[in-house]
């Protein structure tokens, strides 16, 4: 199976990537000293097929000592579960069945700095990122990503399933659900009507 951002039929779009406690970072993550080829490999092949297995099982990140994080990343586990729900499968392959991106690409804790960076980052990258994706369904997670999508992709602020919306010569459906850390019901079945959920699933067949 080829793992490519452009080939995955589902794209999950959230606010920004999280970071460990400052000064206590253990993740093997690109730094200024890395060669450009290694940085490209990390972001292109993070879910598999690169020079290292950057992520194990889709939920545990590689640490700088070449071990994997003992705790799984809750957001990654949430996304994997939502992909299973949409595709109606017992298992899915990250990087093949779904891909992830953000509206702001710099890491921070608790979305620190995201509001200030949103306009600059979305202006530079949002349309280009989505245009490079082959996703038929874009799942927008949380209020920050929704703000970016409604402002930069001309989506409506109302309606939990929208489209088809043409971005990058492809027509896609958009759906909006709460972020994984929201203290509300967050599954598609709980958030969407049966007809809207069926519409998304039909687009992925």
pLDDT of 2-47, one tens digit each? 455 568 999 999 998 888 765 667 899 898 999 999 999 998 888 8
CB atoms within 10 A of CB 168: 14
Residue 87 lies in a domain: yes
Mean pLDDT of 79-104: 95
pLDDT higher than threshold 60 for residue 1: no
The tens digit of pLDDT for each residue in 107-136 reads: 888 888 999 999 999 999 999 999 999 999
Assign residue 93 the CATH number of its domain.
Answer: 3.40.470.10
pLDDT of residue 3: 58
Q: Is residue 30 part of a domain?
A: no
Task: Give the pLDDT of residue 4.
Answer: 57
User: Does the residue 165 lie in any domain?
Assistant: yes
- Is 28 a domain residue? no
- Which pLDDT score, from 0 to 100, does residue 169 have? 83
Could you tell me if residue 84 is inside a domain? yes
In a domain, 32, yes or no: no
CA distance 82 to 187: 7
Report, as an integer, the average pLDDT of 140-145: 95
Q: Does residue 69 lie in a domain region?
A: no
pTM metric for this prediction = 0.91
Query: How far is C-alpha 6 from the geometric centre of its chain's CA atoms?
Result: 13
Which tokens hold the place of 94? 């990250």
On whether residue 136 sits in a domain, the answer given is: yes
| Mean pLDDT of the chain, nearest integer | 90
pLDDT band (50, 70, 90) for residue 59? very high
Q: What is the mean pLDDT of residues 160-185?
A: 91
Rg (CA), the chain: 17
Strand 98-102 versus strand 10-14 pairing type: parallel
Contact at 8 Å (CB) between 11 and 98?
Answer: yes
Q: What is the mean pLDDT of residues 98-115?
A: 90
pLDDT of residue 17: 87
| Domain region containing 120 | 10-19+74-204
Per-residue pLDDT, 158: 84
SS3 189: helix
Query: Which single residue is written with the structure tokens 């093949």?
Result: 96
Residue with tokens 């995955």: 8
Number of domains in the chain: 1
How far lies 72's CA from each of 68, 78, 109, in Å? 9, 11, 17
Task: Phi first, then psi: give them for residue 147, nearest 5 degrees.
Answer: -60, -45
């Amino acid at each position: 199976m080829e793992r490519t951002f452009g080939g995955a039929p589902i794209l999950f779009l959230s606010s920004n990537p999280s970071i460990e406690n400052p000064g206590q970072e253990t993740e093997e993550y690109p730094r200024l000293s890395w060669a450009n080829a290694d940085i490209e490999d990390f972001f292109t092949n993070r879910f598999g097929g690169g020079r290292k297995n950057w992520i194990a099982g889709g939920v545990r990140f590689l640490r700088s000592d070449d071990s994997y994080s003992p705790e799984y990343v809750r957001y990654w586990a949430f996304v994997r579960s939502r992909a299973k729900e949409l595709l109606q499968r017992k298992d899915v392959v990250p990087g093949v069945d779904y891909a992830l991106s953000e509206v702001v690409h710099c890491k921070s804790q608790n979305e620190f700095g995201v509001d200030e960076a949103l306009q600059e980052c979305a202006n530079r990258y949002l349309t280009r990122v989505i245009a490079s994706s082959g996703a038929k369904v874009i799942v927008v997670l949380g209020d920050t990503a929704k703000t970016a999508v409604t402002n930069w992709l001309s989506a409506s602020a109302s309606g939990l399933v929208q489209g088809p919306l043409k971005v990058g010569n492809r027509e896609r459906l958009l759906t909006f659900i709460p972020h994984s850390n929201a203290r509300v019901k967050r599954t598609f079945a709980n958030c969407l009507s049966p007809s809207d959920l069926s519409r998304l699933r039909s687009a992925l067949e």
